[in-house]
Amino acid sequence: MTSISNYISQIESELRDTKFPKNPANLYDPLRYFFDLGGKRLRPALTLMTAENFGSKGKSALHAAMAIELFHNFSLIHDDIMDEAPFRRGKETVHTKWNNHIAILSGDVLFVKAFESLAKCEAKYLSDLLNLFNKTATEVCEGQQMDMDFETRETVTEDEYIEMIRLKTSVLLGCAIQFGAIVSELDSQFQKDLYDFGQYIGIAFQIKDDLLDLYGDPEKVGKQLGGDVICGKKTMLSIKAREYGCTTDQIHPVSSAESLVARAQEEFFKCGAKEYVEDRMVYYYKKALNCLSRLPSEQRKVFEDFSAYLIYRIH
Amino acid sequence: MTSISNYISQIESELRDTKFPKNPANLYDPLRYFFDLGGKRLRPALTLMTAENFGSKGKSALHAAMAIELFHNFSLIHDDIMDEAPFRRGKETVHTKWNNHIAILSGDVLFVKAFESLAKCEAKYLSDLLNLFNKTATEVCEGQQMDMDFETRETVTEDEYIEMIRLKTSVLLGCAIQFGAIVSELDSQFQKDLYDFGQYIGIAFQIKDDLLDLYGDPEKVGKQLGGDVICGKKTMLSIKAREYGCTTDQIHPVSSAESLVARAQEEFFKCGAKEYVEDRMVYYYKKALNCLSRLPSEQRKVFEDFSAYLIYRIH
């Protein structure tokens, strides 16, 4: 089996070969800047991994994978505006470095680039790919709207939170894997199994992100810990802690962001929220693995290894 | 020949049948609101007109036409944010009635709806339709960026202005007509002729819009005259007037917006800018008609009548 890092390298190489036009500079410079910031490239790697393991030939897998990555970056540029995030990966976000108007329009044109990449796939796959992509893109928007709606709500239930991250994050992983299945001409049952696997592993992946934000190794995670707590963002951890009677409101007032994070780490652990959330992560991880039961063992192993990589990662 | 108003009615009927999901309400309510504001629906009518006149059967023309209209409305919602426009068609814009974040995301999901409509077209046309749509959408973004860049520039040449409106406005008319040609299975020469016709008539159409903004009948145009002059927006009229040594700066200061508009009407007339711009409109109008020379006379007549309708309209 080709390792994940090889698929990621293929995507990085393709991104380097993607040349945006020179003009209008205010439209395309932000895209050059944003892709230079880097990224995990896990989603498109999933498409390539799936396609290779099911014997897809030709370039459709690469074009479909690129569509996923371009779309993902479009959504990040627009989400950063809506979240009023000043930084991404330690650098200024597009709307901070330029302005909101430029970030809106650069995002829009990047969205088109995603469809352009998809349109390069073999014609026989196009209708299936496009339908799944449209459904997924719609759901990602719905998830982002739910996330924004949560900001102004007093309480959010665990089920609502899971539905939000399913839409905002997980469906795109499902889509990425099913893209690989479509260009490998797998039957609809296998396609569904792989999509469901992607969706569940995506939920586990996001829960892992929530945990890393508070309990990760700051050196490995590459950013200050506890950003979610500092911003008062609702996550699986804070939702559960609140249910257990422990809120970040209670651990206020504190003298600094550092001590707020330290107390959240301690209180969320003591009340049992950390353990509960870790259990839920494993629950969705296992649900994902269950979706693989019909796969031939050789392919199943590839997805199992990838799942372990996602869930036991330290950044 | 079916009249333009019949094609427009078909689009209005299809829009009424387009049901957006109920939730998330903050994502879809703005779209319901925006389509209720109305619109000329000329672009999708062009697709239907072209398709009917070249014998297209089936529903592909309607789906392609709807993709054009959905895309156009997406671009209006985002443009209104970037232009900081408080009103459209006499009502609050989406970002005014809700907020910028909601307007960004509602626009995004509407963009997806455009691709969804396109994906309903017969599979044999899909690749051609998608390629043209992507090219057009990219150009519309480029045109909008040029328009924004012009705001902060001292001078803009006529050629630059024409290139900007070609990208921002005209290519979508070309695309709308070529969509009709694609689903009618016309050969590539006819497709190109019709696209070029659409592009030139689109430039004439935008120049007509510039003229109506200052010299229209306020009752017919449905809004206060001279909005472009009041906002200091660069248009064909102001660019030419400046070249002729007459600027709106010169006609400042005045006691009110009304007197500014009245003086611009008079000065732009006296310096010859109005006449020059009217001549250029007719120039592009004739260039458009020239693209029709290879068409059978019966079909040519349809496009000629439509052109006259666009150019001699009073609102």
If you measure CA to CA, which chain A residue comes closest to B146? A24
Domain assignment present for A266: yes
How far is the alpha carbon of B297 from chain A, nearest alpha carbon, in Å? 36
Please name the residues in contact with B83: beta carbons below 8 A apart, sequence gap of 6 or more. none
Domain assignment present for A112: yes
Q: Which of A147, A165, A186 is the last residue of a domain?
A: A186
How far is the alpha carbon of A287 from chain B, nearest alpha carbon, in Å? 27
Domain assignment present for A41: yes
pLDDT single digits (tens) B215-225? 998 777 767 78
**How much is the pLDDT for B315?**
67
If one counts every other C-beta atom within 10 angstroms of the C-beta of residue A255, the result is: 7
| Total of domains in chain A | 2
Q: Is the pLDDT of residue B188 over 70?
A: yes
Contact state of B141 with A108 under an 8 Å Cβ cutoff: yes
Domain assignment present for A3: no
pLDDT single digits (tens) B155-168? 999 999 999 999 99
- In single-letter form, the type of residue at position B156 comes to V
Nearest to B27 among A123, A137, A141 (CB): A141
Closest C-alpha to A175, from A65, A33, A14: A65
Side-chain half-sphere of A16: how many Cα atoms within 13 Å? Answer: 6
- Same-domain check for residues A156 and A256: no
- Same-domain check for residues A267 and A285: yes
The CATH number of the domain holding residue A290 is: 1.10.600.10
**How much is the pLDDT for B26?**
98
Q: Which of A165, A186, A207 is the last residue of a domain?
A: A186
**How much is the pLDDT for A258?**
86
Mutate to test the interface with A, among B101, B149, B156 (most CBs of A within 10 A): B101
Nearest to A108 among B78, B123, B127 (CB): B78
Neighboring chain B residues of A145 at a CB cutoff of 8 Å: 24, 26-27, 102, 105
Neighboring chain A residues of B145 at a CB cutoff of 8 Å: 24, 26-27, 102, 105
- Same-domain check for residues A221 and A136: no
- Same-domain check for residues A182 and A75: yes
- How far apart are alpha carbons B183 and A203 in whole angstroms? 42
Q: Which of A141, A156, A186 is the last residue of a domain?
A: A186
Mean pLDDT (chain B, rounded)? 94
Q: Is the pLDDT of residue B248 over 80?
A: no
- Same-domain check for residues A205 and A62: no
Contacts 24+ apart (CB under 8 A), B214-220: B214/B261, B214/B264, B214/B265, B214/B268, B215/B265, B215/B274, B216/B314, B216/B315, B217/B314, B217/B315, B220/B314, B220/B315
- Same-domain check for residues A68 and A136: yes
Neighboring chain A residues of B131 at a CB cutoff of 8 Å: 119
- For A280, counting Cβ atoms within 10 Å of its Cβ (0-12 exposed, 13-18 middle, 19+ buried), the class is middle
Inter-chain contacts counted by CB atoms under 8 A, chains A and B: 114
- Give the residue with greater pLDDT, B190 vs B315: B190
Q: Is the pLDDT of residue B247 over 60?
A: yes
Neighboring chain B residues of A149 at a CB cutoff of 8 Å: 24, 26
Domain assignment present for A69: yes
Domain assignment present for A32: yes
Query: By the 8 A CB rule, do B127 and A123 touch?
Result: yes
Q: Give pLDDT < 50 ranges for chain A.
A: none
Domain assignment present for A1: no
If you measure CA to CA, which chain A residue comes closest to B74? A108
Interface of A with B (CB under 8 A): 21, 23-24, 26-27, 78, 81-82, 100-102, 104-105, 108-109, 111-113, 115-116, 118-119, 123, 126-127, 130-131, 133-134, 137-138, 141-142, 144-146, 148-149
pLDDT single digits (tens) B16-63? 999 999 999 999 999 999 999 999 999 999 999 999 999 999 999 999
- Same-domain check for residues A210 and A182: no
How far is the alpha carbon of A92 from chain B, nearest alpha carbon, in Å? 19
- List, as one string, the DSSP characters of A33-57: HHHHT----HHHHHHHHHHHHTT--
**How much is the pLDDT for A220?**
76
Tokens of A189: 């049952």
- For A17, counting Cβ atoms within 10 Å of its Cβ (0-12 exposed, 13-18 middle, 19+ buried), the class is exposed
Structural domain boundaries enclosing A61: 11-186
- Same-domain check for residues A16 and A158: yes
- Same-domain check for residues A149 and A262: no
- List, as one string, the DSSP characters of B226-246: THHHHHT---HHHHHHHHTT-
- Same-domain check for residues A104 and A201: no
Its pTM stands at: 0.96
pLDDT single digits (tens) B105-148? 999 999 999 999 999 999 999 999 999 999 999 999 999 999 99
- How far apart are alpha carbons B130 and A57 in whole angstroms? 23
**How much is the pLDDT for A251?**
55
Please name the residues in contact with A239: beta carbons below 8 A apart, sequence gap of 6 or more. A156, A157, A158, A161
- How far apart are alpha carbons B40 and B9 in whole angstroms? 11
How far is the alpha carbon of B110 from chain A, nearest alpha carbon, in Å? 9
- Same-domain check for residues A145 and A202: no
**How much is the pLDDT for A172?**
98
Neighboring chain B residues of A133 at a CB cutoff of 8 Å: 115
- Same-domain check for residues A178 and A203: no
Nearest to A82 among B104, B134, B142 (CB): B104
How far is the alpha carbon of A283 from chain B, nearest alpha carbon, in Å? 28
Domain assignment present for A2: no
**How much is the pLDDT for B35?**
97
Percent of chain B exceeding pLDDT 90 equals: 86
